[in-house]
Amino acid sequence: MFRSLVFPVSLSLLLIFGWSTFPQSQPASLGNAIRASAYIVPQPVGGEHDLSFQTVLLAALRIELERSGLEVRVLDKAQLASLARAAFETLLERARSADTDFLFVERYTRQVNDLKVEIVTYGVEEADLMASVTISGRIGLRLDEAVTRGANSLMPALETRIASAVQRRREAFAARPPVEVALAEQAQPAGESQAEPLSPVPAKPAVPEAPPAAEPKAAEVAGPQVPAQPETLPAKPPSAVEVLPQRPFAWQAAAGAASFFPLPALSDAVTMGILSTLCLERLVSTSIGTLGLGIYAGYTGFLPANPSLAAYFQSLIPVGLDLRWTAFERSRLGLFVRLLGGAAINVSDQSKVAGRLTRVLPQLKTGAGLTLALSRRFGISVEFLYEMLFYLYTANGGVATDLIMGFNAPAICIYTKW
């Protein structure tokens, strides 16, 4: 949301600098500062409900409406949450009590890493549907751009109504008693005439207190049409599903076990091995999947073909770095490839070993697997890995290497995310 924060801050600095270069001694007429006003309410209506997008969508649309000359009534986070599942009649009542001309409802649905938003505009006084547009944007820096495109496509259809609303407010202002107008002009400090446009009824606050939001209806109904009476306007409330915040997970931990089947060249020394593993990964979402960066550790026990000859190579403790790339992260079935690199420490009895260079064996594993999500936080993974261990020793006055190769087939893990 970096773009959403940088733009308002930069705009504020530019306005402050530009304002200081002009003389402030002669305030403009209050009548010229009158603007049409808007009331914005983002509502989650389907998919994965997430209230955290309310403030993001409101801020993005507010910037574009203010660019077009509208005054926007700003709601805080608590007020937005109270309206998340409110019926249309409740939203219209709030907009009227806030003395606004237009109601903008941003109905959004999260679809994996994308957000689908339907921006619907209503006339508050006439209680009619004016225009609507549906846009989709990827969650992240591109989301603001999608809202900008949607607002730009809406504004041409609203120009006539905006002009009418401004004219109506000016006529109401002109009809006020001259004494009241003079007192308002005297009460306004010099230089503030352009900062806060005057409402025809100044006694009403910008965001008044209102009764609690109405309970949502149990099912979706058709969107509002132009009614004969505003009181009978049909509503399109969001679903009654409980709203729960769902942010992308940042960590994943897994524990599992696997078998080691050596290549035929090692069958006279090792028959098989049993592995237990633990891993911890930091999850990073990208446009093509999820990248996991972390560490792993475990224990490996080998079953030698001849215990008396291979007693020096029975137990290992592997540790290292873990790199995993997963596709279809939010699907029930996922696909991943994995690379592990580190070292395996030989903790077997080494009293009869001659010529051993070190207890540490460089280790490398690579392979692929599948994930089965049991829920958003828990699941099972099955993978097939090719493993190589490099046994280093001295021979004929130099360093020699024996490759110990085999397959971890299958490796089964239980994972959790948070």
Residue 282 and residue 205 in one domain = no
Determine the Cα–Cα distance for residues 65 and 56; give it in Å rounded to an integer: 15
Statement to judge: residues 181 and 125 lie in one domain: yes
With respect to residue 260, please indicate whether it lies within any of the assigned structural domains.
yes
Predicted pLDDT of residue 304: 78
pTM for the predicted model, two decimal places = 0.44
Q: Which structure tokens are listed for 303?
A: 């079953």
Write the burial class of residue 76 (CB in 10 Å: 0-12 exposed, 13-18 middle, 19+ buried): exposed
Which tens digit of pLDDT belongs to each residue from 56-74? 899 889 999 998 889 999 8
pLDDT tens readout for residues 109-168? 887 778 889 999 999 988 899 999 999 888 876 678 888 888 988 899 999 999 999 998
CATH number of the domain bearing residue 308: 2.40.160.20
Residue ranges of alpha helices (H) inside 175-314 are 178-187
Separation CA 146–CA 108 (nearest Å): 12
Give yes or no: residues 117 and 183 share one domain. Answer: yes
Average pLDDT of the segment spanning 194-209: 44
Structural domain contains residue 246: no
Res 376: pLDDT: 83
245 in a structural domain: no
Examine the fold and report which residue of 232, 261, 284 is the final residue of a domain before the chain moves on.
232
Q: Is residue 19 included in any domain, yes or no? A: no
Q: Mean pLDDT over all residues of the chain?
A: 78
* Least confident stretch, 168-172, 208-212, 264-268, 329-333: 208-212
349, 375 Cβ separation under 8 angstroms:
no
Question: CATH number for the domain including 79?
Answer: 3.40.50.10070
> What domain count does the chain have?
2
pLDDT > 70: what percent of the chain? 71
Q: What is the pLDDT of residue 145?
A: 82
Same domain membership, residue 299 and residue 208? no
Q: Is residue 55 part of a domain?
A: yes
Same-domain status, 178 and 259: no
Query: Are 218 and 354 contained in the same domain?
Result: no
Mean pLDDT of 279-295: 93
282 with 216, same domain? no
Domain hosting 71: range is 2-12+28-232
The amino acid present at 257, given as its one-letter code, is: A
Which of the four pLDDT bands, split at 50, 70 and 90, describes residue 176? confident
DSSP line for 343-360: EEEE-S--TT--SB--SE
Helix, coil or strand: residue 283: strand
Out of 168, 199, 232, pick the residue that ends a domain: 232
